[in-house]
Amino acid sequence: MDFDRAASLTPIPLVDPFGRAITYLRVSVTDRCDFRCVYCMAENMTFLPKADLLTLEELDRLCSAFIAKGVRKLRLTGGEPLVRRGIMNLVTSLSRHLATGVLDELTVTTNGSQLAKYADMLAGLGVKRINVSLDTLDPDRFRTITRWGELDQVLGGIAAARRAGLAVKINAVALKGVNEDEIATMVEWAHSEGMDFTVIEVMPLGDVGEGRLDQYLPLSMVRARLAERFTLDDIDYRTGGPARYVRVAETGGRLGFITPLTHNFCESCNRVRLTCTGTLYMCLGQADAADLRAPLRASEGNDLVYAAIDEAITRKPKGHDFIIDRRHKQPALARHMSVTGG
């Protein structure tokens, strides 16, 4: 992909019908994973045939097209992004946009299992911050939640990331009856290590073989319980994401809440999501999508891709409409989180 040539076409920046500038692209580079978290995947997941995947070069070309159209922040996710073969080649090629200054930030959301191997390389390529998903500090519980994961491997990965100078934010999904008793301890642990901590509410995406009602724990309850133990002061801190932050007076650290169900975060949405097959989702909570693989493969230039992206953005909805209650036990969407990467 000749980015300079593409840039010389001065593609039009992306603004959706509600006036929101689209400056953040999340890319699910694989739907595969070395874990099988109970809220994310069924144990016997069927993954995409490898032949359906975009090559790393094609992913680079699409990401670069979005950057040419004004995207300033890129997050690699999955599935587990760091298990995609050759992933560091993609990070290396994308890092050229950091070097030229057209991209502000390249980040990764990971389960941490491969960080011991890749942390130094990520830091060397200009990645400054990463999110690591970790729902418990108890090894047995960790195994129950992730089915296939090893806590020590993840803790080792987090330590390697911090040694490499990466800022680490810990993301934990709040699960009823599973880790709700541990959230306060995890906040203390993360803050004592100098890491931000964010709690995420379970979203009803994909059939995972367990009832959503069994897993769903409203963050309003989590927050109320944390407030019994800590002093939570609202702060304005924003990372461009949907989290609302408080400062925990006792630890001095930042605590975020991502509450798609109990709080609507759509009005300031600046993001779209690209899957590893080149499908663009304009909203995490809606089924509508645009195929970018066909226009990408139809010609070597990027005009068709730009036109397809422009058309897709005209369809970005105002917001989503997740519901988990007794009348809505089915997933709100058939798609799993590992398709779009959260």
Ligand X SMILES: C[S@@+](CC[C@H](N)C(=O)[O-])C[C@H]1O[C@@H](n2cnc3c(N)ncnc32)[C@H](O)[C@@H]1O
Q: Residues in the site for ligand SF4, rule: CB under 6 A?
A: 33, 35-37, 40-41, 78-80, 111, 133, 338
What is the footprint of ligand X within residues 115-134 (CB under 6 A)? 133
As a dihedral over the C-alpha atoms of residue 181, residue 187, residue 192, residue 197, rounded to 10 degrees, the angle is 150
Size of the site for ligand X (CB under 6 A): 20
Site string for ligand X, 160-179 (x = CB under 6 A): -----------x-x------
Question: With CB cut-offs between 5 and 8 Å by kind, which of ligand SF4, ligand X, none does residue 119 bind?
Answer: none
CA nearest neighbour of 14 among 219, 269, 203, 227: 269
Cross-strand partners of 257: 199, 244
The residue of the chain with the least Cβ separation from ligand X equals: 342
Cross-strand partners of 150: none
Site string for ligand X, 182-221 (x = CB under 6 A): ------------------x-xx-x----------------
306 vs 62: CA distance, rounded Å: 9
Q: How many CB atoms are located within 10 Å of the residue 293 CB?
A: 19
161 vs 122: CA distance, rounded Å: 9
Please state the φ and ψ torsions of residue 148, each to the nearest 5 degrees.
-115, 0
Contact of 275 with 340, CB cutoff 8 Å: yes
Of 107, 109, 114, 259, the one binding ligand X (CB under 6 A) is 109
Question: With CB cut-offs between 5 and 8 Å by kind, which of ligand SF4, ligand X, none does residue 77 bind?
Answer: ligand X
Of 110, 114, 136, 302, the one binding ligand X (CB under 6 A) is 110
E strand intervals along 213-322: 232-234, 244-248, 254-258, 271-274, 279-281, 289-291
Which is nearer to ligand SF4, 127 or 145 (by Cβ)? 145
The answer to whether residue 40 forms part of the interface with ligand X (CB under 6 A) is yes
Of 11, 78, 157, 295, the one binding ligand X (CB under 6 A) is 78
Cross-strand partners of 256: 198, 245
Which is nearer to ligand SF4, 37 or 166 (by Cβ)? 37
Of 22, 25, 29, 33, the one binding ligand X (CB under 6 A) is 33
Minimum CB separation from ligand SF4 for residue 78, in Å?
5
The answer to whether residue 342 forms part of the interface with ligand X (CB under 6 A) is yes
Cross-strand partners of 333: 205
Question: With CB cut-offs between 5 and 8 Å by kind, which of ligand SF4, ligand X, none does residue 36 bind?
Answer: ligand SF4
CA nearest neighbour of 223 among 203, 205, 238, 245: 245
CA–chain centroid gap for 244, Å, is 16
3-state secondary structure of 139: helix
Question: With CB cut-offs between 5 and 8 Å by kind, which of ligand SF4, ligand X, none does residue 259 bind?
Answer: none
Site residues (vs ligand X, CB under 6 A): 33, 39-40, 77-78, 80, 109-111, 133, 171, 173, 200, 202-203, 205, 337-338, 341-342
